[in-house]
Structure 1
Amino acid sequence: MSSPNNWDADSEGRAAKLLRKSRDAPFVPIGMAGFVGLVGFGLWRLRSRGAVKMSVHLIHTRVMAQGFVVGAMTLGVIYSMYKQYLVPEDPSRPSK
């Protein structure tokens, strides 16, 4: 019986796995970073929101962050479609 601490058959660490997946889909970490950045910006702007209600300010912050993530995902899909369909593959180059 295997030990409960060694449940992962992969010897790859979390950081290496994140870097490998970032190379495969570069728009995912861009979307995550943009989301965190916009939420941080919204919270920073919270102190000088003026007469705007807090709930409205938080909704606007959420919509901005979600819009950035959806935009990054859309660009990622467009980029992958471009690579798959529009760029001719060189048959002499070995595949990965």
Structure 2
Amino acid sequence: MTTPQLPEGRESALAVFTETFDCGSLAFEVGPALTCLEAEALAGLLGALGSAAGADAWIEGHAASDDCGDMHCQCEDCVPEDAGQQ
């Protein structure tokens, strides 16, 4: 068994992390398995690393499985139709 090549140094590791997790399809596959806090932490890190779209994808991917009343739930009861319209 060979040892995988790991990035050396913080900047390189963060670049690899961002490149790997800045993926909408991964977010929608894995996001539902995360807790709200895990999704927020991952999205927060991606956002801090300059990937706002990646951060949004992880929250949206996670929100698809949130139950009514959960932090990211997007059902009619949690997000009224007129929300955001002003």
TM bucket, shorter chain: 0.3 to 0.5
Higher helix share: 1
User: TM (normalized to structure 2)?
Assistant: 0.32
Higher relative contact order (CA 8 A, sep 6+): 1
